[in-house]
Structure 1
């Protein structure tokens, strides 16, 4: 039995090339069971006329489907669904069942109830997205990233692409981290002192699991990174919030008997304060005197464009007390999910063993692609382009904020990609954010950054990594009108 050309419909807004879309229609038809082995396909001329496309496009699509064993060619008879085509399991669909287990009671909602910064998935559809951490497609080097990814897919790198590396990392990427990225922060490390992670969040989770647990105490910044509180909450450790000031975390406010101190010294999250050198040295002295470990989350050091970047705490560490967490999320793109830990070999050994049980290692293809992106100079060119763009956007933001009478609570002096803002005392920024969405404006309410028992309602964050300078003035004006109306 022949498959009629009318069985194929080409959606006008489909993704991919015409060849890719034709292949997708055939493979979906086979896997869904609509097309059966031995059925004859429409002729290339007939399907081309039906779809209104070139015959050569259909012919090339058929040829690729033959090589993938979805179709077989029978001389002058045409193309047929292959006998060897993949088949989906023919199982009878079952109706959804009611939940027989009260998972809410069983889990206690330990994770889902934790406070997080809520961001809409369709943020790109908003006209004024002042959200933090998203990439700007107009700044990214798509062409060279694609070339690096294709190179990593080649036969020469087949082992890096396909092998289970157990607990090891891509030696090429580790080499460039040790030789290029870490020296920018003044850090000298060996191969056995570095571990790749699935982003900085995963790095913090691994560090917490290795260092903390029941009966131990951790100190965190207040306000601070909301994702860290989510990591620490299930650990069983006592978590103590320490209020930051204009210079970041004050060492003299740390409690006695703390085991681990978490800090974002270079760009305090979310205030963007940069810890001065004197305070960094005082924090290291306190760590030595009180015998605690420092976890340095250096998530945004590449975005220092107003002044030279300060030395990392890790670079000043002479006793091996600092665990350094870095990430490519802000400098390349967040969806890549690739970060790294730097610490004493004994710590990295434990972290590596934990990662092995958890996820073994980050995908080899991503590691090798990033290694090529670094080694060929594309990463440095991208960073330079982003710094120039962020400098311009920051200038426009400062002018618009000043013109609309908005209050900056903390912005730091080295750059970054956001402003930490304070609304008047009577304004609830979560309510404000909901109202602004209807006007196409996205902001981030600040409550999730504070310790829950003392979280003020009138702070918010404005990111500028994914909004064009031309849109900033009107977006800030809308925020100003909404705050005055509140």
Structure 2
């Protein structure tokens, strides 16, 4: 690969001769790791024209670098970065100036102080990755996804690849969601009532910006999705966290002045509790009495390998007050960042307008590829394959957990891909997680899911979507040993 001539610039305040400055510029590029071993430098003629110097000046600089083993010459091909050049492992830009900005004064808002769940970049190298929401590459249908992507690159789909939808979405994907995905949840929706999003989190952000603001009040579950806390905090609304029970969010605990209710009724995050149908009706009645909106995050409904999931809250809604959020991130792969939102046309119109101000629409090629993958039956086949594997892993998890005396705080009634666990009260699972990482075990501490400043620190989540069944028993044994030693 050749190094672009456009990356070369002489410093206006450069010291020494032009030849020396060119030598220093190239040497710095190599020493900083910006230029890699084997990369070809621009020809002396091209670099001279770009820098506005004579060709002999560049040639002399190249010759000196060649003598010092920074460069190597290959016949008539040109000059390349030498294999013997002292190259660091990765490129670190050289700081050219000292910042004088007072960031405490310059920042109008801060977004980096909130709770986040972190995972090691090398988690795939862990022998026991009980990590939630990450895919098992052995279960993903790479071949058919690739074929669908190639088809979406074809001449017939040129407009979906290159066109600007402005504020619209791929009609094929919207049609599939309307005709196949939503009916499985008992939901009927027209295209005008569906919006494609960059995953569920993007959908939750859109709802917070449209439905909430200064003076408005939101009710959320406790514990709940940690990023939701920060989304609502940034909306300037007042937030009330309501402790969930074995059936999810209790409707009678919702304050009288609530404007928006956020809930995960089918598979509560993170406890995995499923809200019974009777309570779903009670929740709708409570929202009607308050004239409040409900945002339903229906994540993981596809992972119902133990039995058919309950009807979505949206399917029971007769007032149009439920905003339904779905995602393909868990069922396909999280890097896809593709989800959807269903609501009354008036709401979707505002969500579409807000989305267009930020990024217009998710990439057309990704939407069309997903539409083909879904409509050709590959998605259903993958769900069946994943459900079979997750069922086996769950059974192995339950056997190992029982054998080692660990405590399950919540397990999905219909399936899912994780278990909510509770360690003894004295155990800080954040510290437990750090200790287990040394043994190649990854667990997720539960504290970030709670809103209470005095939140419990002894909960943790075990995902089993990315760990094979044969490694689960040994991994659970290591967790039990670490808890006993705490």
Same fold (TM over 0.5): yes
**Structure 1: where are the runs of 5+ without partners?**
1-24, 39-77, 82-92
Which residue matches 1:463? 463
| Partner SS, residue 454 of structure 1 | coil
1:281 pairs with 2:290:
no
Which residue matches 2:193? 193
Q: CA offset at residue 99 of structure 1?
A: 2.0
Query: Per-residue displacement from partner, 1:100-140 (whole Å, max 9, x unpaired)?
Result: 11224433772111011121121101110001000100000
Contact 1:446 1:459 in 2 (8 A): yes
Query: Per-residue displacement from partner, 1:77-99 (whole Å, max 9, x unpaired)?
Result: x9999xxxxxxxxxxx9743222
Is the alpha carbon distance of 1:376 and 1:99 closer, same or farther for their aligned partners in structure 2, counting shifts above 3 Å? same
Which residue matches 1:358? 358
1:151 pairs with 2:151:
yes
Structure 2 distance, partners of 1:241, 1:79, is: 67
Structure 2 distance, partners of 1:35, 1:328, is: 51
| Residues 153-192 of structure 1: pairs in structure 2 closer than 5 A | 153-192=153-192
Q: CA offset at residue 303 of structure 1?
A: 0.5
| Residues 42-441 of structure 1: pairs in structure 2 closer than 5 A | 95-107=95-107, 110-441=110-441
Structure 1 distance, partners of 2:339, 2:268, is: 18
Structure 1 distance, partners of 2:388, 2:151, is: 29
Query: Per-residue displacement from partner, 1:5-53 (whole Å, max 9, x unpaired)?
Result: xxxxxxxxxxxxxxxxxxxx99x946x6368769xxxxxxxxxxxxxxx
Structure 1 distance, partners of 2:327, 2:429, is: 29
| Partner SS, residue 302 of structure 1 | coil
Contact 1:223 1:449 in 2 (8 A): yes
Q: CA offset at residue 455 of structure 1?
A: 1.0
Q: CA offset at residue 454 of structure 1?
A: 3.0
Contact 1:447 1:457 in 2 (8 A): yes
Contact 1:297 1:325 in 2 (8 A): yes
What is the TM-score normalised by the length of structure 1? 0.82
C-alpha RMSD of the superposition:
2.2
Which residue matches 2:17? none
Contact 1:210 1:350 in 2 (8 A): yes
Equivalenced residues, count: 413
Structure 1 distance, partners of 2:44, 2:431, is: 52
Structure 2 distance, partners of 1:485, 1:384, is: 40
**Structure 2: where are the runs of 5+ without partners?**
1-34, 48-75, 80-92
Contact 2:43 2:78 in 1 (8 A): no
Structure 1 distance, partners of 2:140, 2:133, is: 14
